[in-house]
Amino acid sequence: MTGSPALDWLFRAAEARSAAGVHRVLRPRAADSVLLDLASNDYLGLAGDPRVIEAAAASVRLWGAGSTGSRLVTGTTDLHAELEYALAAFVGAPAALVYSSGFLANVGAITALAGPDCLIVSDAGNHASLVDGCRLAKSRVVVTPAGDLAAAETALAGRCEPRALIVIDAINSADGRLLPISDWHRLARRFEALLLVDDAHGLGVRGDGRGSVAEAGLAAEADLITTVTLSKALGAQGGAVLAHPAVIAQLIDTSRAFIFDTGLNPAAVGAALAALGILEREPALAKLVLERAAGLAGAAAVAASDSAVIPILVGDSNLAFRRATAMRDSGILVGCFRPPSVATGTARLRVTARATLTDGDIERFRRCLIATSAG
């Protein structure tokens, strides 16, 4: 009995997901967990850094638990303005605008910059937030194969719209691959298109921590928009758009994800600001992440990554889930990426590096991976 015939389809859909190995279960994380965390996006280990925690607490004491309103009403504090200035200065961008999540930053930027008179060329490897932004933009969207510059060029050459926007992930969240951003920017400029680069996995990891776009020397370019998250390397919460002041003005005036959303809470703003300061003072943290990632890749006998993300391809979704569960039972937490996060038949374990990992942690991972590989 489902309780209502209107819900019958939900139970059938749940059964189908379970059979396909793509059913998800929430697993609450205990504060005193003893699991070795190789699944989180806390790349610099700053989420638990006492300096970051104290900054969050101090922000709450000063500003309260919530921002009290949307950014255009009461939700912008001096702290928000300070973070936006610091982000832009650190990355080398002209200006910045903070959203309450990285997801909303992507959706908000794309929908505000595209529209019916704009062609969107979207890379097939893009994160779901970029995909959803494209779907909501009321633009014609051409999805090109992952990393395929030639296909993107063909789409741009055949456009009938007066404007164009290219949307890419600098680093793919499922395989850790870095796209050649300079090549994509040259393509965009040749066709007088804007280029939007999601650098969620690059900030804090690439370019001495300043990110993939800064590493490519393009952070200040007027026709390039960078989106970042504050919830990965900075260990906090929220997102931001880094761009020319004209772009920021367009977002403030027209981005529904900015205008109608409550501003980022003060604790997250204070934490992100403190983490950014630590990263600026300690750029070696970024190099250390990549060193730890190389160690994890070596332990797993897979190719080195361009980022903190190391994929271990399994293929079958049910098998990937069993392997991740076996590793969890052995004391190591790894990510398990299955459709729709990745294409059917490419389910994988996703391991993420952290600057605070030790050689002993990496050896423990190697042994556990071998012991559970027979599953």
User: Which active-site residues does the annotation give?
Assistant: 173, 201, 232
Helices (H), 1-126: 8-20, 50-63, 78-91, 102-113
**SS3 labels along 280-312:** HHCCHHHHHHHHHHHHHHHHHCCCCCCCCEEEE
Q: 188-208: string of b/e by CB count within 10 Å (b at 16+)?
A: beebebbbbbbbbbbbbbbbb
Residues ≥6 apart with Cβ < 8 Å to 111: 133, 136, 137, 255, 256, 257
Task: Check if the beta carbon of residue 307 is closer than 8 Å to that of residue 293.
Answer: yes
Residues ≥6 apart with Cβ < 8 Å to 188: 164, 166, 194, 195, 223, 224
